[in-house]
């Protein structure tokens, strides 16, 4: 099925017997015979970066765009029954903000939030990793930052996505570095390069696609 692969993640090598979903979309997973537990990893889609403005910063040439927040991360074990069918959703990366209307104050727009990645099980219910927030555009002040996914969620096995970086040199939390002297970087990927927040800029990049891994244990 498209979007499913066995891949090396973060230098750890191939996860044995894992089905790993790397493309945004909806998929089905059938639990193998004799399996009652699954080890799952989910990453939400990254939020899109925002555009900077031109000519609106009280005499300055522009204000920087903010970086989008990276997707949330969840690693946990879920109970299942043999042969039940799970619905797997991989969150899409949020779109980057668009260029403004071309008026004297060319504000641009905010980035879109990333999509939530999830696994729906008839036995265990929904397991999710939320997408990162899209960044706000530059205006009279520099744009951003944006929150990472799961920012309010303290469940075991959950890690917040990184904040998108403020423009002008401030770093985002969890390793989101500045993108340039004027634009903030997106929050760093929480796992394997997936779910990174889009950097601020013009054009503003989209956030990274989420990720789901399922392994029988």
Distances (CA, A) of 170 to 101, 116, 148, 167: 28, 27, 16, 6
- Res 143: pLDDT: 47
d(CA 77, CA 65): 39
- Res 123: pLDDT: 97
- Res 166: pLDDT: 46
Q: Which of 17, 31, 151, 11 is nearest to 83 (CA)?
A: 31
- Res 156: pLDDT: 46
- Strands 25-30 and 85-90, by their bridges, are antiparallel
- Res 163: pLDDT: 53
Consecutive sets of 10 residues in the chain, 217 residues long: mean pLDDT of each? 45 64 96 96 89 54 70 92 97 86 62 93 94 72 53 48 47 34 73 87 86 95
**Helix and strand totals (H; E) in the chain:** 0, 12
The strand pairing partners of 113, in sequence order, are none
- Maximum separation of any 2 CA atoms in the chain, in Å: 69
- Res 184: pLDDT: 74
180 contacts 85 by C-beta, under 8 angstroms: no
- Res 174: pLDDT: 30
DSSP single-letter state for residue 175: G
d(CA 208, CA 129): 14
140 contacts 56 by C-beta, under 8 angstroms: yes
d(CA 201, CA 206): 11
Polymer length of the chain: 217
Give the global pTM.
0.79
Question: Could you give the strand order of the β-sheet that contains 125-129, starting from the edge strand earlier in sequence?
Answer: 25-30, 85-90, 117-121, 125-129
């Amino acid at each position: 099925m498209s979007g499913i692969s066995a891949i090396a993640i973060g230098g750890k090598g191939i996860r044995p017997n894992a089905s790993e979903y790397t493309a945004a979309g909806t998929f089905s997973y059938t639990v193998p015979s004799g399996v009652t537990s699954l080890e799952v990893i989910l990453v939400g889609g990254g939020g899109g970066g925002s555009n900077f403005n031109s000519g609106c910063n009280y005499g300055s040439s522009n204000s920087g765009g903010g970086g989008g927040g990276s997707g949330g991360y969840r690693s946990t074990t879920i109970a299942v029954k043999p042969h039940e069918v799970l619905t797997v959703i991989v969150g899409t990366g949020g779109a980057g903000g668009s260029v403004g209307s071309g008026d004297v104050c060319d504000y641009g727009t905010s980035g879109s939030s990333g999509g939530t990645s999830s696994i729906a099980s008839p036995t265990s219910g929904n397991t999710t990793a939320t997408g990162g927030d899209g960044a706000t555009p530059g205006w009279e002040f520099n744009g951003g930052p944006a929150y990472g996914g799961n920012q309010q969620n303290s469940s075991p096995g959950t890690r917040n996505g990184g904040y998108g970086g403020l423009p002008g040199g401030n770093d985002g939390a969890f390793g989101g570095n500045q993108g340039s002297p004027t634009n903030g970087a997106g929050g760093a990927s929480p796992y394997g390069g997936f779910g990174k927040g889009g950097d601020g800029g013009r054009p503003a990049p989209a956030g990274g696609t989420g990720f789901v891994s399922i392994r029988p244990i």
